[in-house]
Homo-oligomer: A and B are copies of this chain.
Amino acid sequence: MTAPNIETIVSLAKRRGFVFPASEIYGGLGSSWDYGSLGVELANNIKKSWWRWLVYERDDIEGLDSSIIQNRNVWKYSGHETTFSDPLVDCRACKGRYRLDKLQDVQCPNHPEAHPGEDKECDLTEAREFNLMFRTTVGAVSTDEDESALAYLRPETAQGIFINFANVLNTSRRKLPFGIAQIGKAFRNEVTPGNFIFRTREFEQMEMEYFVRPEDAPQIHQQWIDDFHGWIQSLGISAENLKLYEQSADELAHYAERTVDILYRYFPERADEEKQWDELMGIANRTDYDLRVHSKKPEDAEGKRINPDSTDDLSYFDEATKQRFYPYVIEPAIGVNRTLLAVMMDAYTEKSNEKGETRVILKLKPELSPIKVAILPLAKNKPEIVELARKIKNDLQPSMRAVYDDTGGIGKLYARQDEIGTPFCVTVDHESLEDNAVTIRDRDTWEQERVAIGQLKEYLHKRAG
């Protein structure tokens, strides 16, 4: 089973320390979230899995970590200054502010039965474009209005990759096709953030830009769609909760030739099946748009695009064909936060115990579990048992994430570990002092097995990875 709705995960996440409302003691800050002890481990494990799969296991991808604040020209020439905006309207009657393209999704506060603009008392202004980039000012300038010091928080990590294309190419001696991968924070001043960590103004992206010969782009694009569809399932997300979506011509970004989204069933409670799905990730063929626009004084087909500010040409010279051209870019882009939400929803399971009480089990893939094994002493007032339990924890720790917990009765401790997705509990009891063995309990089956302490590490490695 999966979680019945996002609210179930919000509640579990807060109760168990995965995700807290940010700035909570000051009333929050419009859909901002902080990651607690377990949330940061789960997020880190998702990032590690992505990085290992792309950068370590393949031989054609380099890592990168570029700055959040870049020179303003990056966003001028990428097109974000002029096109990265939402159309907003204000209602003079109810004082509400709405996205013109999302009026159907909200209600008029004065007339909840109508959408803004539908009721005759509504008085909407003309739409104006609201740029989604956060603005700031760099350096000790006199006022915030000094345009020369204006800068933005990056709305995507991708541009940091494009502007470093030549640096990476020169230092790595790569030949096409090859990719550059980056994980990092991005910021979008969304008008209506919401749905927990699904849409937030501050979020974390995992983006990879894969540079290819233009003629190879369609086939390699399809390959990355297939590969990411597989990778998402390798995180434990079931195929029936995933759906591929081909963007239509009028949905495509101005730089994209084709984009396929992978949707997750974030809203299983909605009666209309079509409305159950929303975007987990997108895989775009960005063409040669980005490398072209950041190159010194290039002209496009119509002779319009000039870039006198760039100092470099980001074209590629092919030794084999002796040709120079701008590579095409295939971009699989996925959010850490949306992945974490999908992983938690898909792992969420309820089960009845023998007393008929409902218990929550988070059936995470062991690779993603914040904690791989919990060591629990059956009698915390017996020093030999506590000492042995702590020793087992310390012996396991170098090779896997282990915790020691003695803050409750064994039934309560098991239930806690089930809820946070720990695949195994190890119980140290009186007998352990004599037979040098412990009881291992499985999260998913609740079955128990007696294992010699000397074989514990091997047993757990085989099962928890």
Contacts and interface: CB of A to CB of B under 8 A. Distances in A.
A191 interface: yes
A167 B20 contact: yes
A77 to B, nearest CB: 8
A15 B65 contact: no
Given A24-B164, A59-B403, A138-B189, 18 more contacts: A17-B62, A20-B167, A24-B312, A26-B73, A28-B71, A29-B138, A30-B138, A33-B67, A34-B66, A35-B64, A36-B64, A37-B168, A37-B172, A40-B64, A57-B398, A138-B201, A140-B191, A153-B153
B59 A393 contact: yes
Contact of A67 (B34, B153, B167): B34
B25 A311 contact: yes
Interface of A is mostly: mixed
A322 interface: no
Nearest to A88: B140
Interface stretch (A129-137, A218-226, A439-447): A129-137
B15 A171 contact: yes
A139 B131 CA distance: 11
Contacts of A239: none
A163 interface: yes
Given A59-B403, A151-B29, A163-B24, A17 B171 contact: yes
A23 interface: yes
Contact of A65 (B43, B68, B71, B394): B43
Interface string A1-38: 00000000000000111001011111111101111110
Interface in A296-347: 309-312, 314
A56 to B, nearest CB: 6
A171 B37 contact: yes
Interface string A136-156: 111110001100000101000
Contacts of A394: 57
B168 A69 contact: no
Contact of A62 (B37, B73, B151): B37
Contacts of A234: none
Output the residue of A15, A26, A35 with the most chain B CB within 10 A. Answer: A26
A36 B66 CA distance: 8
B171 A153 contact: no
A173 B37 CA distance: 12
A63 to B, nearest CB: 5
Output the residue of A24, A310, A407 with the most chain B CB within 10 A. Answer: A24
B164 A36 contact: yes
5 pairs of A and B residues whose beta carbons are closest in the complex: A17-B171, A23-B71, A34-B66, A35-B65, A26-B71
A26 B311 CA distance: 6
A41 interface: yes
A71 B187 CA distance: 16
A268 interface: no
Output the residue of A25, A63, A135, A189 with the most chain B CB within 10 A. Answer: A25
Output the residue of A65, A189, A397, A398 with the most chain B CB within 10 A. Answer: A65
A73 B27 CA distance: 10
A363 interface: no
A286 interface: no
A68 B223 CA distance: 36
Contact of A63 (B27, B28, B41, B68): B41
Given A64-B36, A65-B34, A189-B140, A166 B59 contact: no
Contacts of A311: 24-27
